[in-house]
Amino acid sequence: MLDELRRIVTEVARSSDLRSALDVIARRVQDALQVDVCSVYVLTPAEPAREAALILQATEGLNQSGIGSVRLNLNEGLVGLVARRAEPVNLENAPDHPAFKFIHDIGEEYYHGFLGVPIIHRGEVLGVLVVQSRAQRRFSADQESFLVTLAAQLASGIRQAQVSGELSQDSAAHPGWESAVTAQGLAGSPGVVFGTAVPVLDVVDLDNIPTRPVEDPATEWAVLSAAIDAVRVEFAQLKQDFSRAAGSTDEHVLFDAFILMLSGGSLVDSMHERVMGGHSAGIALRDAVREHTAVFEQMADAYLRERAQDIRDLGNRILIKLQARTQGPRQWPERIVLIGHDLSASHLAEIPTERLVGIVSSSGSGSSHLAILARALGIPAAMGVADLPLARLDGQEVVVDGYRGWLIVRPTGSYRQELLRLAREEAALTAELASLSDEPAQTLDGVRIGLHVNIGLLADMAPSRTVGAEGIGLYRTEVPFQIRKQFPGEAEQAHIYREAMETFRGQPVVLRTLDVGGDKPLSYFPIKEDNPFLGWRGIRLVLDHPEIFLTQIRAMLRASIGLDNLGILLPMIGSIDELTTAREYIDQALTELREEGEPVATPRIGVMIEVPSAVYQIDLITEMVDFLSIGTNDLTQYILAIDRNNERVASRYDALHPAVLRAINEVVDAGHLLGREITVCGELAGDPMGAILLLGLGVDVLSMSAGSLPRIKWVIRRFTAADARHYLSQALAARRPQEVRRMLYDALVERGLGGLVRAGA
Ligand code: PEP
Ligand code: MG
C-alpha cells in the first residue's frame, strides 16, 4: 500500500493543475482501496454574502454532473460532519447515522460503507476526501491512514488553488457578489495598500511558470523550437568534448539519447501540439515534460524510474534557453507588491524601490529581519503566508493588510470598496503622523520618554532624521558585515560608524557589537548547527574570536573621537563571565588606542537583556554596566521557547505574554534601583500596545524602526503615565496574552487610536 501511496503522490505532484490532481486522486484511490466511490469536496469559506459550503470538486463513481453543483453547508450530511469535527468518520452503514443526508441525482443512494477524512492545512479544514462502498463495510485502520496521508498531501495544493483563483467560480457566476481570496499570514509591518503582485520566482523552475495569453501560436512555436534546437546543439558540442577527453563514456550514450529526443518524436510533438492548442511555450514545455516523466515514474524498474529526472533536467535546460529568449527588459507596475518564498533584503535591491508599496513573504514572522526592514521603510508587510502560488499571482491586483498579515487577491464588489476606504484612511493617517515629527514624546500628564531608532544600514539613517528620533538606540552592526564579502577591517568599520555618530552628533548612538549566528548568517563565515538559536551566536562567537571583537571595538572607539556620543552594547550576554571578559577586551582596546596617542573617551557600556539567565542575575549585571537594553525579540523567544522565525509556531509567539512582561518588569525594577538608564530596543517598543505597557513601567527610552516611531509618539501623547501604570498592573496579573491584547486594544480605541492597530477600526 505504501508503494501505491508513493505512486499516487508523485502523479498528483506532476498534475498540471488542481482539477487534474483531484481527478487523479479520485481515480487512483478508487482503484487502490477497491471502493465504488471516491470524491473530493472543497470548502468555500464564508463571506459576508454567503455561508461556507463544501462543494463537490471531483468524483469517481458518483454522477459527474454533481461536480461544481453539489453544495453542502457545514451542518449537512456526513461530509459536513467530517469537516465540523475535523477528524475521520468511518461507518459500516452510513444511512443509519443520524447525520446522513441523502443527495438526489448523484446516485448516492446505493452506498453503505463510508469513510471521510478532513483535508487540513495548518489547522484549517479545506475540504473532505470521501470513499464509499456499495456493500456494508467498515474500512480498516490501514485504509484510514492511507486516506489521511493522502489528504495531508492534497492540502497545500488546494490552498494554492484557492489563492490563485483556480477554484473560485463564484465571481464569474455571480458578478454582483463580493468576492476575494484571502491568504492569511502574520502581521509584519502595519498598513493597508493596493498594488500589483510581482512574484520573485526561482530562476529556473518548471513548476513555477507564469501563465500568459498567447497571441500567435506559430510565433510561440518558433521561439520554443529555437530553444529546443539550441539545447540540441549544446548537447552535440558536449558529446564532442567528452569523446575527445574520455572516449566513449556513459555520458556519451546519454547525450545521444537526449539529442534523439530533441530531434523530434513524442516529447517535441507533445510540446508542438500544446503550443498549437493555445498554450504558451513555457506551459507547453512544462506539461510535455510532466507527461513524459510521469510515464517513467510509473515504471517498476528503479533504473528506468531514475530516467524521469533526466527528462526534467532536459526540460530545465530548454527553459533556461527559453527565458533567455523571451525575457526583454522587465516592465515594472506602478505599485509593486513583492511576493516570494524566502525574501530577503537582497531581493529588494532588484526592483525599483520607489515603486515598492507592499511585501508578502511565505516564510518568517513579524520578528524576522525582513519584517524589521519593512517597518524601517514604512512599507506594509505580511509574513508567513504559506503556500502562495507565486507564478499564478503575477500581475494580479492584490491588497496587503499588514495589520492582520493578510494578502487579499482580486477583491471585487463592495469588499473592494471597503478595502479602498481603508487604504485611503491609512494614507491620511500617515500624513497626520508626519505632522508630529517636531512635537515632544510627552504624555498628557507631562512624562517624557526618549524615542530612538534602530538602524542596520546607513540607508536607514535618512528616515530616522525626518521622523524626529533623538538618538540611535540600536545599531545592528552585523548588517554592514552581512552585505560584504569578507570581514570589514578597522578603518572601513570606523568609517561606517562615524557616519552614524556624526549624523546624530550631540545625541546618543548605541552600537551593538557583532550579533551573528542564529538567523543572521555571514556568507563568508558559515556556521552549521542543529540548534543555531541556542548555539554559537552573538557575544559567544566573538569572545571565541577576540581578533574580530577587538577590531570592532577599536573601530567603534576610533569613530567616536571628538564626538563622544558612543554607547557599546553587548548582545546575548548570559553569564557574568561573558560580561567580565567582554569588558576586559574593551579596556584593552581603550588602552591600546590611548597608547597609540588617540584621544578616545570612555564609552558607556550596556548589555542586551535577552537571555533568561541575565534576567535572574539582573542585580549583578546592572552593577557592572552603565545602561541596560531589553531585547524583547530574543527574550520572548527564549522565555517562551518559541522560535521567533518559525511561522508554524508564530501565532504562539507573543511579547505581550504575561510571563514576558513579568521578566521585563523585574529588569526595569532592578535597573532603576541602581539608577541605570533602561532602553527597550526589541519590536515591542514599536508596537502601540507594547509601548503603553513600557510607558507604565517607566522605561527611559524606546528604540524602534523609523517607520514605527511616529505611531508610537502619537500613542504616548494620548495617554497619561498614570493610565499606563494602571494597564500595566492589569497586564502583569493577566493569565494569557489575549487578555492583555483585548484590554490594550480597547484602551487605544477609546482614545481614537484604533486605526494604529487595525486599519479603519
Ligand atoms: C532583540 O532580540 O530584541 C533585538 C533587538 O535584537 P535582534 O532582533 O537583532 O536579535
Ligand atoms: Mg536579539
Question: Which residue minimizes the CA distance to atom 9 of ligand 1?
Answer: 476
635: CA distance to ligand 2 center in Å? Answer: 8
683: CA distance to ligand 1 center in Å? Answer: 8
Closest CA to 472 of 569, 391, 385: 569
In sequence order, which residues have a C-beta less than 8 Å from that of residue 79 and are 6 or more positions away? Answer: 41, 54, 72, 116, 128, 130
Question: Which residue minimizes the CA distance to atom 6 of ligand 1?
Answer: 631
What does the pLDDT read at residue 49? 62
Pick the range with the lowest mean pLDDT from 15-29, 197-211, 663-677.
197-211
Ligand nearest to the CA of 632: 1
Residue 408, beta-bridge partner list: 182, 399
What does the pLDDT read at residue 167? 62
Cell of 450: 526618549
What does the pLDDT read at residue 82? 95
Pocket-testing residue among 477, 539, 630, 681, ligand 1, by greatest number of atoms within 8 A of Cβ: 681
652: CA distance to ligand 2 center in Å? Answer: 18
Closest CA to 635 of 684, 679, 671: 684
The full set of domains in the chain, from first to last, is 2-164 (3.30.450.40), 181-202+341-430 (3.50.30.10), 206-326 (1.10.274.10), 446-605+681-756 (3.20.20.60)
Residue 173 predicted with pLDDT over 50:
no
β-strand pairing of 124-133 with 627-630: unpaired
- Of residues 760 and 706, the one with the higher pLDDT is 706
Distance, CA of 747 to CA of 263 (rounded, Å): 72
pLDDT classification of 755: cutoffs 50, 70, 90:
confident
Other C-beta atoms closer than 10 Å to the C-beta of 604 total 16
Alpha helices in 99-169 (DSSP H): 141-164
What does the pLDDT read at residue 461? 73
Over range 457-470, report the average pLDDT. 77
Over pLDDT 90: what percentage of the chain?
A: 51
Ligand nearest to the CA of 705: 1
The per-residue pLDDT of the chain, averaged, comes to: 87
Residue 125, beta-bridge partner list: 120
Ligand nearest to the CA of 512: 1
Alpha helices in 327-440 (DSSP H): 345-348, 369-377, 390-393, 413-434
Instruction: Indicate the residue type of 294.
Output: A
What does the pLDDT read at residue 172? 40
Over range 326-354, report the average pLDDT. 79
188: helix, coil or strand? Answer: strand
What amino acid positions are annotated as catalytic residues? 369, 681
Closest CA to 88 of 143, 133, 7: 143
What does the pLDDT read at residue 83? 94
Tell me if 426 sits within 8 A of 759, measured CB to CB.
Answer: yes
Cell of 69: 453543483
Give pLDDT tens digits for 269-307: 999 999 999 999 989 999 999 888 888 777 766 666 667
What does the pLDDT read at residue 521? 81
Question: Which residue minimizes the CA distance to atom 1 of ligand 1?
Answer: 631
Looking at the CA of residue 372, tell me the nearest atom of ligand 1: 8
208: CA distance to ligand 1 center in Å? Answer: 35
β-strand pairing of 406-409 with 450-455: unpaired
What does the pLDDT read at residue 166? 66
Ligand nearest to the CA of 631: 1
Tell me if 356 sits within 8 A of 216, measured CB to CB.
Answer: no
Cell of 37: 466511490
Ligand nearest to the CA of 685: 1
In sequence order, which residues have a C-beta less than 8 Å from that of residue 574 and are 6 or more positions away? Answer: 611, 613, 614
pLDDT classification of 326: cutoffs 50, 70, 90:
low
What does the pLDDT read at residue 165? 66
Q: What share of the chain is helix, strand, coil (3-state, %, to 5)?
A: 50, 15, 35
Ligand 1: list residues with CB < 6 Å. Answer: 474, 476, 515, 610, 631-634, 681-682
Question: Which residue minimizes the CA distance to atom 3 of ligand 1?
Answer: 631
339: CA distance to ligand 1 center in Å? Answer: 25
Other C-beta atoms closer than 10 Å to the C-beta of 261 total 19
In sequence order, which residues have a C-beta less than 8 Å from that of residue 696 and are 6 or more positions away? Answer: 721, 724, 725, 726, 727, 728, 729
The pTM of this model reads 0.70
What does the pLDDT read at residue 171? 37
What does the pLDDT read at residue 551? 97
Alpha helices in 190-344 (DSSP H): 217-246, 250-262, 266-276, 281-297, 302-326
Question: Which residue minimizes the CA distance to atom 4 of ligand 1?
Answer: 631
Tell me if 441 sits within 8 A of 464, measured CB to CB.
Answer: no
Question: Which residue minimizes the CA distance to atom 7 of ligand 1?
Answer: 633
pLDDT classification of 252: cutoffs 50, 70, 90:
low
What does the pLDDT read at residue 117? 95
682: CA distance to ligand 1 center in Å? Answer: 5
632: CA distance to ligand 1 center in Å? Answer: 7
Q: Mean pLDDT highest for which of 203-217, 299-313, 380-394?
A: 380-394
Task: Report in angstroms the alpha-carbon separations of 412 from 392, 398, 415, 682.
Answer: 18, 11, 6, 38
Give pLDDT tens digits for 618-665: 999 999 999 999 999 999 999 999 998 887 888 899 999 999 999 999
β-strand pairing of 701-704 with 450-455: parallel
516: CA distance to ligand 2 center in Å? Answer: 10
Give pLDDT tens digits for 695-709: 999 999 999 988 889
Distance, CA of 595 to CA of 604 (rounded, Å): 20
What does the pLDDT read at residue 760? 40
Distance, CA of 257 to CA of 314 (rounded, Å): 11
Task: Report in angstroms the alpha-carbon separations of 278 from 27, 103, 273, 495.
Answer: 28, 39, 9, 58
Pick the range with the lowest mean pLDDT from 354-368, 489-503, 708-722, 736-750.
354-368
Over range 36-45, report the average pLDDT. 90
Looking at the CA of residue 367, tell me the nearest atom of ligand 1: 8
Q: Mean pLDDT highest for which of 37-46, 362-371, 603-612?
A: 603-612
Question: Which residue minimizes the CA distance to atom 8 of ligand 1?
Answer: 633
Torsion of CA 684, 690, 691, 694, to 10 degrees: -90
Looking at the CA of residue 454, tell me the nearest atom of ligand 1: 5
